[in-house]
């Protein structure tokens, strides 16, 4: 009996044993016992956000920049429903999160009590797994299992709903290593899985004449060593490589083999190479619709190798020839050893022809834009930001829209885990709280949220959080007064009828920053830009840099929805043929 | 090149009925996870049956009848396996040798004019009359869904009925060793 502690104490003890250093949260009635216990200890730091949605994006930013699991603590009812977007975001982008929600005491469950909601019911489809803990003695085992599930295999969010009476009740704590998790609950591919497929895949690569590596976020989730191995293997083969939005940084932007990002707003040469390749090696990507374009015209003549830890991604949208289920790090390590053992060497003549072809595509210079005049082009703003921050340890987060694509195109990433963006769900309002989380994880690094004027307003309340914790996050707003990507689609697909995409009455972002006791800066012309960026970097405080950019700039190149990789639009003047434009209109 | 279970499914395949049997931990919400995956991803459930099958291990068996192309059904199987409390998923059609059965209870509106025909038909299908306190005519018929369908069609031609069906359950009939 002496060993019994309260449920709330078990929560904190479990977090401590799991190595949690920081929790992002917001208190409320149903989690008061946990907050009371938090108050009495010093090992775990709490970051108080200003809305629960901010907490979970901050935890995502923390998790993706550090590789650790992000932890969120919120109350019942609205606390729980406010994290639903973030949970879905983490589910789509495979981010390990453990989210603790309070629940009304058990005797009130089902009575429509104050701040009651069916949290596990609501979050079931947007978590890897969730729990409603009814027995205090199961609390520690649930926590240890939850952390394992969040990190294991394809990472994702796990939610633990704890009724208030369970937080008060006394029970025993069980240590992590005493918990046995049945293997079926982990769903982990065994290391030896499909060894023959690895050999088959490597042989296929060795015979390729026009190979391309297609790299996704799975390589980042597999840890920094995975990126190293992927780079090593690509170098051995000498093949071109393209990365998805989530995979940027796995291979450095300056790497001679890198063709940059592919997909809807990807590089012309990357998409053309995907279309014409004969062997495609997909490592940790999932043939997302932003990447593939029209499915029936996707890379029609290639043999496809697909390495993924999640079996359900195999043949989901694109049929592949050689599927390999497993962790990138382990699989690529084996591929390298097979390549060496068999002394494979790719046919250099064919490879040279392939590179010649790619270099011709590069000459199109697809990112070219008209940079005349004193008005700042958004592309130029990102280029200058890159030039002035490239020698600093910098993390870039983004919101969602045109600015996100320009950031992906013009900021050059040399390392993994430095680029945090909402890819799958496309959550506006992600970038700023994610930057807060990244800054908490890396107090000495430069963290910049490249934002749009519309997106930033979706979680602007977190200014208060950033200032309270002295987090010198920089918000770099490409301000065109439009929801730029919405405006662009309306221009291209809806006859230029800009329905509700112009934001009247934007705040004065400089004064807004000052009202939070942060620093506000503004660049109106190209003459101000470098100064503002330098000042922003040097300021040891939270900064909003309001960059006035040209209002109607479009993000190119672009594969319009319903088009194929070889049907890229390079500029506005190049109209898509009408029939496929009509077809594409119904897509998102 | 050996054919893996992960090999690409055929490009074109026809829509077929499949019986999936899913072993799950018997914990709260597990059924909601399974059927929520079907509705959330736009798959079909034609019938569903769930019951605990082992007392000691706390395991339930969910039998789902669905229809779809082999690509869709293979995706359903993989998505089911992602659910944490799911132990295993078996597609009994793929295995090729399984037996299935379902139960229907039929309340029959009976009169002097149709009585003889009703009893003859029930006899033919070996439907069993269930005695009950209210002395109403309720028959139970068990067997493969096809057979139950035929019975219902024919009884409907004779008189008005009310029907409740369990939906099929199925089990693999392949010989197994006791240790497995």
The residues with which B70 forms a beta bridge, in sequence order, are none
Three-state DSSP class for residue A479: strand
A164 flagged as catalytic: yes
| Mean pLDDT along residues B139-168 | 95
What pLDDT shows up at residue B57?
A: 76
- Residue A184 Cα, gap to closest chain B Cα (Å): 5
- Residue B41 Cα, gap to closest chain A Cα (Å): 10
Q: Which of A128, A187, A312 sits opposite B75 (nearest CB)?
A: A312
- Residue A56 Cα, gap to closest chain B Cα (Å): 22
Q: Which of B29, B78, B84 sits opposite A311 (nearest CB)?
A: B78
Interchain pair B33, A124: CB under 8 A:
yes
- Pairing of β A322-325 and β A303-308: parallel
Q: From its phi and psi, is residue A548 left (phi > 0), alpha (psi between -120 and 50) or beta?
A: beta
Interchain pair B82, A316: CB under 8 A:
no
Q: Is the model more confident about A110 or about B8?
A: A110
Q: CA A132, CA A128: separation in Å to the nearest integer?
A: 14
- Residue A499 Cα, gap to closest chain B Cα (Å): 31
What pLDDT shows up at residue A424?
A: 97
What pLDDT shows up at residue A488?
A: 96
A114 flagged as catalytic: yes
- Residue B28 Cα, gap to closest chain A Cα (Å): 9
Taking any CB pair shorter than 8 Å as contact, residues of chain A touching chain B are 120-121, 124-125, 128-130, 132, 149, 184-185, 187, 194, 196-197, 200, 310-312, 314-316, 319-321, 323, 325
- Find all residues with CB under 8 Å of B39, minimum gap 6, and list them: none
- Find all residues with CB under 8 Å of A486, minimum gap 6, and list them: A401, A501
Backbone angles phi, psi at A197, to 5 degrees: -65, -35
Q: In this model, does residue B173 exceed pLDDT 90? A: no
Q: CATH number of the domain at B16-95, out of 2.40.50.140, 3.20.20.60, 3.30.70.260, 3.40.50.720?
A: 3.30.70.260
Q: Which residues of B touch A195 (CB under 8 A)?
A: none
In terms of Cβ atoms closer than 10 Å to its own Cβ (0-12, 13-18, 19+), residue B39 is exposed
Q: Which of A129, A132, A187 sits opposite B28 (nearest CB)?
A: A132
Q: CA B175, CA B180: separation in Å to the nearest integer?
A: 11
Interchain pair A124, B28: CB under 8 A:
no
In terms of Cβ atoms closer than 10 Å to its own Cβ (0-12, 13-18, 19+), residue B112 is exposed
- Residue A225 Cα, gap to closest chain B Cα (Å): 26
Taking any CB pair shorter than 8 Å as contact, residues of chain B touching chain A are 1-2, 4, 6-9, 11, 25, 28-29, 32-33, 36-37, 40, 71, 74-75, 78-79, 81-82, 84-88
Domain ranges within chain B, ordered by starting residue: 16-95, 99-170
- Enumerate domains of chain A plus CATH numbers: 5-173 (3.40.50.970), 195-362 (3.40.50.1220), 378-548 (3.40.50.970)
Q: A45, A114, A340, A390: which is the annotated catalytic residue?
A: A114
A280 flagged as catalytic: no
What tens digit of pLDDT does each residue of B74-106 get?
999 999 999 999 999 999 976 667 899 999 999
Backbone angles phi, psi at A311, to 5 degrees: -55, -30
**The domain defined by B99-170 carries CATH number 1.10.287.3610:** no
CB B98 within 8 A of CB B92: yes
Q: Which residues of A touch B26 (CB under 8 A)?
A: none
Q: A485, A536, A558, A568: which is the annotated catalytic residue?
A: A485
The residues with which A260 forms a beta bridge, in sequence order, are none
| B16-95 and B99-170 have identical folds | yes
Q: CA A323, CA A306: separation in Å to the nearest integer?
A: 5
CB A70 within 8 A of CB A59: yes
**Among chain B residues, CA nearest to A158:** B84
Q: Which residues of A touch B87 (CB under 8 A)?
A: 184
Q: CA A68, CA A60: separation in Å to the nearest integer?
A: 10
Q: In this model, does residue B7 exceed pLDDT 50? A: no
Q: Which of B37, B74, B85 sits opposite A185 (nearest CB)?
A: B85
**For an interface test with A, which of B1, B3, B5, B6 has the most A Cβ atoms less than 10 Å from its Cβ?**
B6
Alpha-carbon Rg of chain B, whole angstroms?
A: 20
ipTM, 2 decimals? 0.92
User: What CA–CA distances, in Å, run from A323 to A273, A283, A331?
Assistant: 21, 10, 11
What's the predicted TM-score (pTM) here? 0.94
Q: CA B31, CA A378: separation in Å to the nearest integer?
A: 50
Per-residue pLDDT of chain A (588 residues; tens, 9 = 90+): 568 999 999 999 999 999 999 999 999 999 999 999 999 999 999 999 999 999 999 999 999 999 999 999 999 999 999 999 999 999 999 999 999 999 999 999 999 999 999 999 999 999 999 999 999 999 999 999 999 999 999 999 999 999 999 999 999 999 999 999 998 998 776 655 566 799 999 999 999 999 999 999 999 999 999 999 999 999 999 999 999 999 999 999 999 999 999 999 999 999 999 999 999 999 999 999 999 999 999 999 999 999 999 999 999 999 999 999 999 999 999 999 999 999 999 999 999 999 999 999 999 999 999 999 999 999 999 999 999 999 999 999 999 999 999 999 999 999 999 999 999 999 999 999 999 999 999 999 999 999 999 999 999 999 999 999 999 999 999 999 999 999 999 999 999 999 999 999 999 999 999 999 999 999 999 999 999 999 999 999 999 999 999 999 999 999 988 899 999 999 877 765 666 667 677 777
């Amino acid at each position: 009996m002496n060993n019994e502690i309260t449920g709330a104490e078990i929560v904190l003890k479990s977090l401590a044993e799991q190595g949690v250093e920081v929790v992002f949260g917001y208190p409320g009635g149903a989690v008061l016992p946990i907050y009371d216990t938090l108050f009495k200890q010093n090992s775990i730091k709490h970051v108080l956000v200003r809305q629960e949605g901010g907490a979970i994006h901050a935890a995502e930013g923390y998790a993706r920049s550090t590789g650790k699991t992000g932890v969120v603590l919120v109350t019942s009812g609205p606390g729980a429903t406010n994290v639903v977007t973030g949970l879905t975001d983490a589910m789509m982008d495979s981010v390990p999160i453990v989210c603790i929600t309070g629940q009304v005491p058990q005797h009130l469950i089902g009575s429509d009590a104050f701040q009651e909601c069916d949290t596990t019911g609501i979050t079931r489809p947007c978590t890897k797994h969730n729990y409603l803990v009814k027995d205090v003695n199961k609390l520690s085992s649930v926590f240890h299992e939850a952390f394992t599930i969040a990190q294991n295999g394809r990472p994702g969010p796990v939610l633990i709903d704890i009724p208030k009476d369970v937080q008060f009740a006394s029970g025993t704590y069980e240590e992590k290593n005493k918990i046995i998790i049945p293997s079926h609950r982990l769903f982990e591919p065994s290391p030896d899985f499909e060894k023959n497929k690895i050999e088959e895949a490597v042989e296929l690569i060795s015979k390729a004449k026009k190979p391309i590596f297609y790299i996704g976020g799975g390589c980042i989730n597999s840890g920094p060593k995975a990126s190293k191995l992927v780079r090593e293997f690509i170098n051995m083969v000498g093949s071109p490589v393209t990365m998805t939005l989530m995979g940027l940084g796995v291979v450095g932007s300056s790497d001679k083999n890198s063709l940059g990002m592919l997909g809807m707003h990807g590089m012309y040469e990357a998409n053309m190479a995907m279309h014409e390749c004969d062997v495609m090696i997909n490592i940790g990507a999932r043939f997302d619709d932003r990447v593939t374009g029209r499915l029936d015209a996707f890379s029609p003549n290639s043999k496809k190798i697909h390495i993924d830890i999640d079996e359900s991604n195999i043949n989901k949208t694109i049929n592949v020839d050689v599927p390999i289920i497993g962790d990138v790090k382990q699989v690529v390590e084996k591929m390298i050893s097979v390549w060496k053992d068999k002394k494979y060497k790719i046919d250099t003549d064919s490879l040279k022809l392939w590179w010649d072809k790619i270099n011709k595509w590069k000459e199109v210079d697809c990112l070219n834009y008209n940079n005349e005049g004193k008005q700042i082009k958004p592309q130029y703003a990102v280029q200058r930001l890159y030039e002035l921050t490239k020698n600093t340890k910098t993390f870039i987060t983004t919101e969602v829209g045109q600015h996100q694509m320009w950031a992906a195109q013009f900021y050059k990433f040399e390392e993994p885990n430095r680029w945090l963006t909402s890819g799958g769900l496309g959550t506006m309002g992600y970038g700023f709280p994610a930057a807060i989380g990244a800054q908490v994880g890396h107090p000495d690094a430069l963290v910049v949220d490249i934002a749009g004027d519309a997106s930033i307003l979706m979680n602007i309340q977190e200014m208060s959080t950033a200032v309270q914790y002295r987090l010198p996050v920089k918000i770099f707003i490409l301000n065109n007064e439009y929801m730029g990507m919405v405006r662009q689609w309306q221009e291209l697909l809806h006859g230029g009828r800009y329905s509700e995409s112009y934001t009247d009455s934007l705040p004065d972002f400089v004064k807004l920053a000052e009202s939070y006791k942060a620093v506000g800066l503004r660049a109106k012309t190209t003459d101000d830009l470098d100064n503002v960026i330098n000042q922003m970097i040097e300021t040891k405080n939270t900064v909003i840099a309001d960059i006035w950019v040209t209002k109607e700039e479009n993000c190119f190149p672009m594969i319009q929805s319903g088009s194929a990789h070889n049907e890229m639009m390079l500029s506005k003047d190049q109209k898509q043929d009408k029939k496929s434009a009509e077809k594409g209109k119904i897509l998102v | 090149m050996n054919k893996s279970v992960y090999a690409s499914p055929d490009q074109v395949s026809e829509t077929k009925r499949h019986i999936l049997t899913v072993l799950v931990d018997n914990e709260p919400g597990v059924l909601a996870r399974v059927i929520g995956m079907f509705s959330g991803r736009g798959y079909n459930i034609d019938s569903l049956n769930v019951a605990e099958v082992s007392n000691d291990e706390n395991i339930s068996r969910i039998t789902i009848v669905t229809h779809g192309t082999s690509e869709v059904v293979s995706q359903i199987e993989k998505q089911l396996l992602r659910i944490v409390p799911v132990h295993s998923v078996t597609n009994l059609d793929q295995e090729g040798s399984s037996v299935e059965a379902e139960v229907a209870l039929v309340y029959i509106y009976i009169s002097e004019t149709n009585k003889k025909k009703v009893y003859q038909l029930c006899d033919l299908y070996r439907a069993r009359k269930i005695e009950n306190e209210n002395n109403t005519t309720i028959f139970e018929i068990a067997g493969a869904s096809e057979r139950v369908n035929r019975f219902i069609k024919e009884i409907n031609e004779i008189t008005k009925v009310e029907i409740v069906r369990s939906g099929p359950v199925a089990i693999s009939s392949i010989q197994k060793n006791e240790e497995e």
